[in-house]
Amino acid sequence: MFKELKRGILFTIVMMVLLGGGYHVVLWTIGRAVFPSQSEGSLIRRADGTIVGSRLIAQKFTRPEYFQPRPSGVDYNAAATGGTNYGPSNADHLKAVQERLDAVTKQEGVTVGQVPSEMVTASGGGMDPHVPPSAAELQATRVASTRGVPIERVRALIHAHTEPPALGFLGRARVNVLELNLALDETLGAVKAVAGR
């Protein structure tokens, strides 16, 4: 009996070392070697090395010279990701969508039918960093006007930052809002904040 108990304890210790540590070290090492950017969280850095954010996490942009991301059910708090879990007929959900729709149509000067659903509904995770190209195009006039540049320059940046569907057929084309806004500042120059914006 003591022999079986000793064998069981030894097996438990070996498996704890292998699966509780060794396995993770091997995967971490492979990840760092093969996918260095992704293993760090797909971080976006400025030329001086400072971290601006992650390609995978949306940030809140409210100033008119920037493209705005999809609404967030968690107010862009990466520590509390998640959706609102409201059903499509929930009164609170319908009220929030209507308020967002009114705000977008007023801000962009467009009709209700021109607003993509992604601009008024929050994503399931609340941190979706992408909008469809139609949502970016909807905001192009405002961004160009606020920055005092021809709209063609802004549209060229949208086109340059439009990612195709994964593998050419999975999902839809999309634009990463953070990367697009950083490209705006790098290409067209940053606009200084004005009080009240």
Average pLDDT over residues 54-68: 92
Q: Are residues 29 and 104 in the same domain?
A: no
Q: Are residues 141 and 54 in the same domain?
A: yes
Radius of gyration of the chain (CA): 23
Return the closest-CA partner of residue 122 out of 154, 169, 77.
Answer: 77
Residue 132 lies in a domain: yes
**Tens digits of per-residue pLDDT, 112-122?**
999 999 999 98
Averaged pLDDT score across all residues of the chain? 88
Residue 55 lies in a domain: yes
Residue 154 lies in a domain: yes
**Tens digits of per-residue pLDDT, 124-161?**
777 889 999 999 999 999 999 999 999 999 999 999 99
**Tens digits of per-residue pLDDT, 5-18?**
889 999 999 998 88
Domain count, the chain: 2
Q: Are residues 81 and 144 in the same domain?
A: yes
- pLDDT at residue 195 above 80? no
Where in the sequence is the domain holding 29, given as residue range(s)?
1-40
- pLDDT at residue 193 above 60? no
Q: Are residues 68 and 161 in the same domain?
A: yes
Query: Rounded to a whole number, what is the distance in angstroms from the first to the last CA of the chain?
Result: 76
Q: Are residues 120 and 184 in the same domain?
A: yes
Residue 197 lies in a domain: no
Tell me the C-alpha distance between 110 and 132, whole Å. Answer: 17
pLDDT band for position 192 (cuts 50, 70, 90): low
Residue 194 lies in a domain: no
Q: What integer pLDDT is reported at residue 194 of this predicted model?
A: 47
Q: Are residues 96 and 59 in the same domain?
A: yes
pTM more than 0.95:
no
DSSP character at residue 21: I
Residue 196 lies in a domain: no
Q: Are residues 88 and 10 in the same domain?
A: no
- pLDDT at residue 196 above 60? no
